[in-house]
Amino acid sequence: MRRLTRLREQLDHWHSLERQRAELQELLELAELDEEQSMVAEIEREARQLLRAVERLEFRLMMGGRYDDHDALLSIHAGAGGTEAQDWTEMLLRMYLRWAEQRDFKAEIIEMLHGEEAGIKTVTIELVGEYAYGYARAEAGVHRLVRLSPFDAAHRRHTSFALVEVVPVLDDEIEIEILAEDIRIDVFRAQGHGGQGVNTTDSAVRITHLPTGIVAVCQNERSQLRNKEIAMRVLRSRLYELELHKQEEELDRVKGEHISAGWGNQIRSYVLHPYSMVKDLRTGYETSNTTAVLDGDLDDFVEAYLRWRMQ
């Protein structure tokens, strides 16, 4: 029913644009007959607006993946480099939260582990909104930062890495069987900066899937039951992603292709020194406005990725 509703809405959009096109065509013919130049100019302006609307819907057709219309879980993990990489992870978190705000996605942090000195070791946010996974999957991969380190007394240039993982939120609509004997559930006191009572009770939940070693943690809610529900949803999505990777690896083997998933496969470089440049290594798209990108201006990179993937 959700899919039917979504398809009907899409069809209504296209029919509405077709009606607008037909009306503009009729008005243009009348204006040309009466030699009304002012009316012709107004029709041309409306036609340009119509064209932009068509292009937006045309771009939406790239969201044809099975789960592109789902919500997304976006996780960021600090790479090697200690405090440097953990600070980079926190910068990426800020970037994605601002991007979500600009796209009218609801973003909720459901798991976060702070670094010992500064930054974040790992964090997972849930993005809720129209085609959240379809857009966010463009960010999956290794992100590389080059800058003058604020943690280096000599102020030398450092390179940091962080891994971004993106999976669709699948809830209960997929057949992933999780047996009670295959999981271990631990409860513990939530860790945070305090001040809101989150760390006064054993409400945080950690679920470990014993056969795979996959761990899902949630400590955002005060209710232990609610944290358990969210952690199970995260675990279900990650188990599905594991099965999906297995299928893709088998397909690559049959095709004779080899795709390395190592840390050396960075998808994007952010250079703040000795020059300013953000470049996506898959699509070749780049910009020198690093400030805007780190403030969440990612749509051009996402669009370039989707067009590259279609090609």
Asked whether the bond before 211 is cis by omega within 30 degrees of 0, the reply is no
> What is the domain range of residue 296?
72-169+267-310
Please check whether residues 195 and 163 belong to one and the same domain.
no
Whether residue 77 is found in the same domain as residue 160: yes
Gap between the Cα atoms of 70 and 240, Å rounded? 14
**Residue 185 belongs to what H/E stretch?**
strand 183-188
Return d(Cα 269, Cα 87) in angstroms, integer.
Answer: 16
The pTM (predicted TM-score) of the whole model is: 0.70
**Beta-sheet strand order (sheet of 183-188):** 183-188, 204-209, 214-218
Find all residues with CB under 8 Å of 214, minimum gap 6, and list them: 208, 235, 238, 239, 242
Question: Does 128 map to a domain?
Answer: yes
The residues, any chain, with a CB within 8 Å of residue 232's CB and separated by 6 or more, are 178, 207, 216
User: What is residue 251's predicted lDDT score, i.e. its pLDDT?
Assistant: 46
pLDDT at 177: 81
**271 and 152, same structural domain?**
yes
Q: Are residues 126 and 77 in the same domain?
A: yes
Geometric angle at alpha carbon 51, from 45 and 56, rounded to 5°: 135
Per-residue confidence (pLDDT) for residue 171, from 0 to 100:
60
**Torsion angle in degrees (nearest 10) through CA of 132, 135, 139, 145:** -100
pLDDT at 144: 93
Which residues, 6+ apart, have CB-to-CB distance to 253 below 8 Å?
Answer: none
pLDDT in tens, the chain (311 residues): 877 887 898 899 899 999 999 999 998 888 888 777 778 888 999 999 999 888 878 877 888 787 888 899 999 999 877 899 999 999 999 999 999 999 999 999 999 999 888 899 999 999 999 899 999 999 999 999 999 988 877 778 889 999 999 988 876 555 678 889 999 999 988 766 544 555 567 789 999 999 999 999 998 888 889 999 999 989 988 888 888 777 667 545 544 443 333 356 789 999 999 999 999 999 999 999 999 999 999 999 999 999 898 88
Residue 262 lies in a domain: no
- Is residue 195 situated within a structural domain? yes
The total of structural domains in the chain comes to 3
Does 84 share its domain with 215?
Answer: no
- pLDDT computed for residue 193 by the predictor: 52
pLDDT confidence of residue 175: 67
Based on the domain organization, do 22 and 160 belong to the same domain?
no
Distances in Å between the Cα of 7 and the Cα atoms of 69, 72, 187, 211, 303 are 11, 20, 42, 39, 22
Residue 232 in contact with residue 216, Cβ under 8 Å?
yes
Query: Which residues sit opposite 75 in a β-bridge?
Result: 124, 165
